[in-house]
Amino acid sequence: MRKLIAAIMVAGAALVGGQAIAADFPYYPPVIEIPDVDYGVEGSFYLRGSAAGNLLWSRNQQFYCPPATGGGCGAAGTVVTETASENGYGYSLGAGFGYETGDGLRADVTVDYLHNSGLANDRGQKLTMRTGIALANLYYDFGFGDVGSAQGGPGAYVGAGFGGAYNYLESRGPWTGYDPDGGSFSSAAALMAGVTYDMGSIVADLGYRMIYMPQLSNGSNALGKPQGPYFINDNFIHEVRGTLRYRFN
C-alpha cells in the first residue's frame, strides 16, 4: 500500500513539474509563408522574323530625255517629270533583335530585304527595285480589355522607326542604253500598327507598316547627264506583315 501511495505521489510531482517547466518557455505562433507576388511584368530579349507583301506608290519620277530618241520622250535633252501610271508590288523578308520591358514598351533593330517591281509611267518606263533596309524601332504594346500586354493573350501595338536603305534600281524603257542600272543610299522612316497574340515564349503578330523614303535614284548625281539619271520622289511602301517573336525568358 505504501508503495502504491509513493508511486502516485511521484507521478503527481512529475506532472506538476512538467507543467511548470513548460510555462517557462515562450509561445511561438506557427510560421505563415507568404508567397511571392507575381506582378505579371518582366522584361525579356527576343528574336523576330517577318514576311510581307508590299505596294509602292511615288509622287513623281524625273528622268533625262536623251537626244535622238525617235520621239515619245518629249523635247530631247530635257528633264521630264512624270507621275506614276502603275504602282509597284512585291514582297519583303526580315529579321531583328529586341527587348521588351514588360510594361508595354518594346524596342528592336530590324533588317529587311525588299523586292518591288511594276512601278511604271506613261512613257513606257518600268522600275524594278531591290532594297536592303535597316531600322531602329520603338513600340507600345497594350492588351484588349482586362488582358494586359504582360499577361499574354490578344493585344495590339503601335510603333515608329527610323534608319536607312540601299536601293538598287533597274529601269526599263523604250530608249535602249539610256536607262542604266544603279543604286544609292536613302534615309527611311516607318510607322507600324498591328494585332498580336501572346503565347508565352512566342508572340504572333499581324501588322501594317508604312515606309517612307524621300528619293530613289540609280546613283546619278544630277539630272541632265547623258547617262540617264533616274529619280523617284516621295516614295511610300505599304506592307502587310506577319511576324513571329521568340522570347529568351
Q: What are phi and psi of 17, to 5 degrees?
A: -65, -40
pLDDT for the residue 148: 43
What are the pLDDT digits (tens) for 233-242?
A: 899 999 999 9
Average model confidence (pLDDT) across the chain: 80
Which of the listed ranges 42-56, 65-79, 113-127 does the model predict with the highest average pLDDT?
A: 42-56
* Dist. CA 78–CA 65, nearest whole Å: 5
Confidence of residue 115 (pLDDT cuts 50, 70, 90): very high
List Cα–Cα distances, 101 to 43, 150, 247, in angstroms: 4, 9, 12
Task: Tell which wins on pLDDT, 5 or 143.
Answer: 143
CB 186 within 8 A of CB 148: no
List Cα–Cα distances, 32 to 20, 28, 29, 35, 220, in angstroms: 29, 12, 9, 10, 77
Question: Where does residue 84 rank: exposed (0-12), middle (13-18), buried (19+ CB within 10 A)?
Answer: buried
Please give the model's pTM, rounded to 2 decimal places.
0.76
Count how many Cα atoms sit within 13 Å of the Cα of residue 85 in the half-sphere of its side chain: 9
Instruction: Please report the sign of the dihedral spanned by the C-alpha atoms of residue 173, residue 174, residue 175, residue 177.
Output: positive
What are the pLDDT digits (tens) for 11-39?
A: 555 555 555 544 555 665 666 666 554 44
| Statement: residue 181 has pLDDT above 70 | yes
What are the pLDDT digits (tens) for 79-101?
A: 777 777 788 999 999 999 999 99
What are the pLDDT digits (tens) for 219-237?
A: 765 444 555 567 888 999 9
Domains of the chain (ranges; CATH) run: 49-247 (2.40.160.20)
